[in-house]
Amino acid sequence: MVGRLVLVLGDQLTETLSALAQADKARDTVVMAEVADEAAYVRHHPKKIALIFAAMRKFAHALEQGGWTVAYTQLDDTDNAGSIVGELLRRAAQTGASEVLATEPGEWRLIDKLKYAPLKVHLLPDDRFLATHAEFEAWAEGRKALRMEYFYREMRRKTGLLMEGDQPAGGKWNFDHDNRKAAPEDVTVDGPLRFDPDATTREVLELVQARFGDNFGALEPFWFATTRAEALQALDHFIANALPRFGDYQDAMLNENEFLYHAILSPYLNIGLLNVTEICEAAADAYASGHAPINAAEGFIRQIIGWREYVRGIYFIEGPDYTARNILGHDRDLPWFYWGGETRMNCVAKAVGQTRTQAYAHHIQRLMVTGNFALLAGIDPAQVHEWYLAVYADAFEWVEAPNTIGMSQFADGGVIASKPYVSSGAYINRMSDHCKSCHYSVSAKTGDTACPFNLLYWHFLDRHRDRFSNNPRMGNMYRTWDRMDADKRKTVLAEGDALLARLDAGEVI
């Protein structure tokens, strides 16, 4: 009897994957492939490509050691078909297989390709998530607003994490109010655990440098974990050393520290080397043992079983057209400084520079610096979406698109966010030391040295007044604007127009 093909994608590196669980090790063939279609559909950061390829090669080896037959295609193999479907067809011709077991991909683009492949593809649920599509749809049905906080409470009840009977540990569901401390004077952790590339990873780095060396981003030094064993070490390192202060400073930013107390586990979680349960249980155990305070454990767990699960639900419930939404009609091109060009805005330069070197920036850098500027300046959300998808090691469309199109750019009209996440320079100054060494003055509201965030904040509110003035969460903003002297408002808008004109002309901002 001819066996089937078992497709394992580069973000599905989990031995309990549903496709593997339903396969027959004795007769089925696992297909894994490094293909140009996936490596180049956006200009991915070289570190991201290297992480996935190195982890894929090592996962394939682990499967072979476990008794699986694995048909693995490297990117530079001469017979490489260049696409996932092409590789499945090539392996089907070799083995005589006509059926494929595949765990549902996390991107509509690839789901459609598999659905219309000239093979019988059985798409299986990705059970690495807590909430199934049906569960999320049932939760969403009939709700006027799909707010994460209420979904998160359901996930807490379902998992029992940080629960005392039917009540939340510490007496509250959410301790976010305690997690907004400004940047500390000193950071007592030297960032995430780093791993030296072995021979397999070094081969991948050479390949990626040759093929993708011109992409935005520094390939070296490369320190990511590329096996499950290493990822587990990285988890242990975070729990032991950084989690206790993670909550307090999770929104903070510093010129000279790229990681503070953040975990940098999302790349490993999103490609399958770690799973949701073990990460969250480790944090909950740290709280139970007194090692970490409740605000740290709860804030960390909320990002995973709350936000991460929620945005996946949004991505699939909203459908394939979600990334094309642009409710605000923004159409300005993404400025060159997002790709490393010069900017005088220190906060933006630091966030982009860190993104270039590490393929990483934490959520406030993404939301309130690069995302905030793009929204204030009216950048085309599709271009912003493509940038975020390309430059971060943890970016896969199911998680990135709702964060960008919805949370960051409000392009979905409020499916995710109840108001646009915009702020002046005052917020960045409060949460960082960036403004102290910036070309611009965060206290200047107008004039040549005025912080661009200050000018564009009011410019954004004014040009979108019809949409947002009746939003109950934005009333104070508009009342402040309306109380401002009429001549000052006129100056702010004129200088905002001039700043955007210089941006369009390619001048250094």
Q: What 3-state class would DSSP assign to 5? A: strand
- In a domain, residue 88? The reply is yes
Compute the mean pLDDT over every residue in the chain, rounded to the nearest whole number: 97
Say whether both 304 and 390 belong to one domain. Answer: no
Say whether both 366 and 265 belong to one domain. Answer: no
pLDDT at 1: 64
Q: With a cut of 80, say whether residue 137 has pLDDT above it.
A: yes
Q: Could you identify the residue written with the tokens 């894994």?
A: 32
Q: With a cut of 80, say whether residue 182 has pLDDT above it.
A: yes
| Alpha-carbon gap, residue 104 to 122, rounded angstroms | 9
CA 100, 64, 72, 17 torsion: positive or negative? positive
- In a domain, residue 145? The reply is yes
pLDDT at 82: 97
Burial class (CB in 10 A: 0-12, 13-18, 19+), 272: buried
- In a domain, residue 214? The reply is no
Which tens digits make up the pLDDT trace of 138-168?
999 999 999 999 999 999 999 999 999 999 9
Mean pLDDT computed over 449-475? 96
Mean pLDDT computed over 219-239? 98
- In a domain, residue 229? The reply is no
Decide which of 90, 124, 158 is a domain's last residue. 124
pLDDT at 236: 98
Tell me how many domains the chain contains.
3
Q: With a cut of 80, say whether residue 457 has pLDDT above it.
A: yes
Which tens digits make up the pLDDT trace of 52-84?
999 999 999 999 999 999 999 999 999 999 999
Band (185; pLDDT cuts 50, 70, 90): confident
Q: With a cut of 90, say whether residue 179 has pLDDT above it.
A: no
Residues 6+ apart with CB under 8 A from 295: 175, 178, 179, 247, 248
Say whether both 187 and 263 belong to one domain. Answer: yes
Contact 350, 434 (CB under 8 A): yes
- In a domain, residue 324? The reply is no
Which tens digits make up the pLDDT trace of 188-215?
999 999 999 999 999 999 999 999 999 9
Q: Which pTM value belongs to this model?
A: 0.97
Mean pLDDT computed over 42-46? 97
Alpha helices in 41-173 (DSSP H): 46-65, 84-95, 108-115, 133-140, 148-159
Which tens digits make up the pLDDT trace of 329-379?
999 999 999 999 999 999 999 999 999 999 999 999 999 999 999 999 999
Q: With a cut of 90, say whether residue 416 has pLDDT above it.
A: yes
Encoded tokens for 111 = 């789901």
Say whether both 180 and 114 belong to one domain. Answer: no
**From the CB of residue 352, how many other CB atoms can be counted at a distance below 10 Å?**
24
Residues 6+ apart with CB under 8 A from 168: 153, 156, 162
Burial class (CB in 10 A: 0-12, 13-18, 19+), 223: middle
Burial class (CB in 10 A: 0-12, 13-18, 19+), 163: middle
Which tens digits make up the pLDDT trace of 422-437?
999 999 999 999 999 9
Say whether both 103 and 37 belong to one domain. Answer: yes
Say whether both 156 and 83 belong to one domain. Answer: no
Band (183; pLDDT cuts 50, 70, 90): confident
Structural domain span for residue 163: 133-191+242-309
Band (184; pLDDT cuts 50, 70, 90): confident
Which tens digits make up the pLDDT trace of 84-93?
999 999 999 9
CATH at residue 140 = 1.25.40.80
Mean pLDDT computed over 18-32? 98
Say whether both 17 and 112 belong to one domain. Answer: yes
Contact 127, 18 (CB under 8 A): yes
pLDDT at 255: 96
- In a domain, residue 320? The reply is no
Say whether both 398 and 301 belong to one domain. Answer: no
Q: What percent of the chain has pLDDT over 90?
A: 97
Band (459; pLDDT cuts 50, 70, 90): very high
- In a domain, residue 223? The reply is no
What residues pair up with 257 in beta bridges, in sequence order?
254
- In a domain, residue 217? The reply is no
Say whether both 358 and 303 belong to one domain. Answer: no
Say whether both 302 and 377 belong to one domain. Answer: no
| Alpha-carbon gap, residue 500 to 484, rounded angstroms | 22
Q: With a cut of 90, say whether residue 118 has pLDDT above it.
A: yes
Say whether both 120 and 138 belong to one domain. Answer: no
Q: What percent of the chain has pLDDT over 70?
A: 100
CATH at residue 474 = 1.10.579.10
Say whether both 382 and 403 belong to one domain. Answer: yes
